[in-house]
Amino acid sequence: MSKIQLFAQANLPTEYGIFKMVGFEFPDTKKEHVALVMGDISNPDEPVLARIHSECLTGDALHSLKCDCGFQLAAALRQISEAGRGVLIYHREEGRGIGLINKIRAYALQDQGMDTLDANLALGFEGDLREYYIGAQMLKDLGLQSLHLLTNNPDKVEQLEKYGITISSRIPIEIEANPYDSFYLETKKNRMGHILNMEEK
């Protein structure tokens, strides 16, 4: 597997503060990925607050209530800002790797009663095609070795550790369920192993 390449850097002012935006490209897929960096992360002896956030156009940009993705993105940026230092990796793997059009097809199957996992399987995909090797490479390129990882997903912890990243602690990033995403969150908890308490608004 090829090594990801860093191509560009610039400051990005946001409602959560000013981040350094770092653009990468993965040669095998030509997909572009982004890291948002705040504060001094140069000390290898200090674990850094971090999140690997998988792209979700519907949740992140269109404010869908069918998932918790956009709320998790905002919560992660807010927590990094409050800490004064940290990294958010924006991982371009829409729909857990199946792409936007197939994600819409999966939504249609969910409208008919399927859960998010069975919908992906019905379309001929694995339940989760994401590859955290890319995120691990980006973190290493940024000089990070140890993280306080914002995630509810134990598999993400295991994969990052497999690729040489030390997870000093896992920090939950749970969003209260709403009537539109409660079935989705139950599927994440009961079928995909995510650590969730499942309190509904």
Query: Is 188 within 8 Å of 168 (Cβ atoms)?
Result: no
Residue 128 among the catalytic residues: yes
| Two tokens, residue 103 | 């994600």
Query: Is 149 within 8 Å of 139 (Cβ atoms)?
Result: no
Q: Count the helices and strands in the chain (H runs, E runs).
A: 6, 7
Q: H or E element: which one contains 51?
A: strand 48-54
Q: Angle between the 154-162 and 133-141 helix axes, to the nearest 10 degrees?
A: 60
Residue 130 among the catalytic residues: yes
Q: Of 130, 141, 170, 191, which residue is the catalytic one?
A: 130
For the four alpha carbons of 149, 155, 158 and 161, in that order, the dihedral sign comes to negative
Question: Rounded to an integer, what distance in angstroms lies between the CA atom of residue 74 and that of residue 95?
Answer: 18
Question: Residue 77: which of 141, 137, 150, 140 has the closest Cα?
Answer: 150
Q: Checking phi first, is residue 153 left (phi over 0); if not, alpha (psi -120 to 50) or beta?
A: beta
Q: Of 68, 115, 128, 181, which residue is the catalytic one?
A: 128
**Which active-site residues does the annotation give?**
128, 130
